[in-house]
Chain A
Amino acid sequence: MADTPRKPFSIRQQSGFGTIAAICFLALYAPIIVLVVYSFNSGNSIAIWEGFSWRWYEAAWANDRVKDATIVSLKLAVSASLIATVVATMAALATTRTEPFRGMTAIYAAINQPLMVPEIVTAVALLIFFAIIKVHTGYQGLGYLIAAHTAFCIPFAYLPIRARLENMDLSLERAAADLYASPWQAFRYVTLPLMAPGIMAGAMLAFVISLDDVVITEFVKSGGQDTLPTYMLGQLRRIISPEINAISTVLLAISITVVTVFFVLSRRGNKSSG
């Protein structure tokens, strides 16, 4: 026991990488953890801890502006993710499991276009375009926000559905056709159930993306159409109370739940097809 045992030489290791990784994870999580912890602070401060309480959650719950913003956020996220998922499913069916046809790349590029343009550019372009429509029609409703959210949700719904379709076995549908299923029956009872995990994943991503959007919503919204993120953005300019931490924590919890379910779904999907 005189000499200290040397670590075995590992070809995979690079010195210092583990330390940097540890710093990385610490840096990623420390701010979020601090934010969550102080949402339970009983004092007014977001810097001095004064004991545990639900006070700020109650305050946020009682705040009418927060309530209104929550309702707008949910209305938007539900309608945008529903519409986006339906049209993205159709588009995914249109662009997979076939020989490339003329225009297929163009469809693909158009659908993914919202991912490539910086959000601020889209936001400003929508501000201009919707201003024109507002002048001509006088319509001020939630429709503008729903249209804008649906458009940028489409690629997020499309990509997992497409991935799912590409990994699917064609022979099952052929078998259905051989057993005299009509094309609709084959789709309804074979293709659609097989696609379901992809559709679920796509819908959930679209929901989270819509719920979290700040920039486009900030430029497109009319008066009284604040969502939770734009309400928070407005509040951040003033003196911040832990109420904002409480709202953030709730949004955070929603995102984490949805992402966890998404992870489980896509893993199960991979297993069943692999």
Chain B
Amino acid sequence: MGKSAVAADKDATSGALAGEEARRRDIQNRWLLATPALVIILFAALGPLLIMLVYSFLQKGLYGGVIWNFSGQGWFDVFLSKDIFDDTISFADAHMLIFWRSIKLSLITTIATLLLGFPTAYFIATRSPKWRGVFLFLVTIPFWTNLLIRTFAIQEVIKNEGLLNIVLLKLGLISSPIQIMFTDTAILLGMAYVYLPLMVLPLYASMERLDFRLVEAGYDLYATRLQVLRRIIIPLVKPGIIAGSILVFVPSLGAYVTPRILGGGKKMMLGNLIELQFGQGRNWPLGAALSITLLVIVMVALLFYVRNASKSGVKSHG
């Protein structure tokens, strides 16, 4: 800032030149400041992804690892399988089943958390400012609580001798405990439980800004509650709905801990299939190819979000 004061004393042209020079130096300094963070991320997050891409095209080693020969086998194994007896090629049914389960469970989780989270966020947003803070805090606490602990907590509730079965038995609704653990339902309940705060928070953020004069206008024009909800509130908070859905769908798709504990190794999701290739499967190229496939699906979902978010942003301004 002292430099720009000096520059102002000089004549206009050299002043402009000095300004340009100062700006160039400022940008250079900014790059220097950002460098440590960028180096760490390149070393321990971004760079390894590129190495993994290379590994997906290598030959698998006998005891894990790779042999440095080009091979398309990893990618072949993701989608197809060759019969060991007659060499016929067919879809890799086991993998397709796991892909399908991952996408299906993630979608149902997203819908379930939306159905629960929407009314909850709306309820919070319509409280007095003081209570809003309290409720918001109550949603934030589970959000920052260890995922493993929350999965463990829900396991304690849904297992055969857990709280849910005890209550149902006492009420006489069931005569013997229901087996929930190690089923798709268990994974679903677990993911919905674990990711619910991720739905409520963005929904609340967009509902907090909701203009209730529009709602009032709707009632003045004889709209019913349901019509107001469908025609006014939902369209206005659509950005929050999309953000929440993405925030739940993306981690659900890559979930590893929750299906590992609640699915018990029987009901695998993509994350567990990937882990298997680096453990007992000893097929690193396949594991790398599966990871990149998961990454691509996630990127497509994020791209969809970015495009939709910018579109609805334009709409609300026009």
Contact = CB atoms under 8 A, between A and B. Distances in A.
Contacts of A142: none
A103 B292 CA distance: 26
A265 interface: no
Interface in B157-211: 157, 161-163, 166, 193, 196-197, 200
A129 B40 contact: no
B27 A101 contact: yes
Interface string B139-153: 111101111111011
Interface in A94-119: 94-95, 98, 101-104, 107, 110-111, 113-114, 116-119
Nearest to B220: A11
Contacts of A90: 33-34, 36-37
Interface stretch (A19-27, A51-59, A192-200): A19-27
B148 A214 contact: yes
Contacts of B291: 120-121, 124-125
Contacts of A117: 45, 49, 295, 298
Contacts of B34: 90-91, 94-95, 107, 111
Interface string B29-44: 1111110111011111
Contact of A11 (B41, B122, B219, B270): B219
Contacts, number: 264
Interface in B110-163: 116-117, 119-120, 122-124, 126, 135, 137-142, 144-150, 152-157, 161-163
Given A12-B212, A32-B153, A147-B43, A208 B144 contact: yes
A152 B225 CA distance: 45
B80 interface: no
Nearest to B157: A31
A116 B251 CA distance: 9
A251 interface: yes
A126 interface: yes
Given A95-B30, A119-B256, A125-B51, A252 B40 contact: no
Contact of A94 (B31, B141, B155): B31
Contacts of B33: 90-91, 93-94
B15 interface: no
Nearest to B27: A101
A103 B35 CA distance: 12
Contacts of A147: 40, 43-44
Interface residues of B, number: 93
Interface string B286-307: 0110011011001100100000
B65 A131 contact: yes
Contact of B251 (A32, A118, A177): A118
Contact of B26 (A13, A98, A232): A98
Interface string B239-270: 00000000000110110110011000000001
B142 A28 contact: yes
A132 B233 CA distance: 54
Given A12-B212, A129-B48, 16 more contacts: A32-B150, A35-B153, A88-B37, A91-B33, A91-B36, A94-B32, A94-B34, A102-B27, A129-B52, A147-B43, A177-B1, A183-B2, A212-B146, A233-B257, A255-B146, A263-B137
B55 interface: yes
Contacts of A107: 34, 38
B271 interface: yes
Contact of B295 (A101, A121, A236): A121
A124 B52 contact: yes
A172 to B, nearest CB: 12
Contact of B193 (A31, A47, A150, A158): A31
A171 interface: no
A174 B5 CA distance: 12
A158 B47 CA distance: 20
Contacts of A47: 161-162, 166
B254 A21 contact: no
Nearest to A235: B152
Nearest to A36: B153
Contacts of A30: 157, 163
A103 B144 contact: no
A260 B166 CA distance: 34
A35 B157 CA distance: 9
A15 interface: yes
Contacts of A120: 254, 256, 270-271, 274-275, 291, 294
B20 interface: no
Nearest to A31: B153
B278 interface: yes
A255 B141 CA distance: 8
Counting chain B CB atoms within 10 Å of each CB, the highest count among A11, A83, A124 belongs to A124
B65 A111 contact: no
Given A95-B34, A120-B256, A148-B44, A17 B1 contact: no
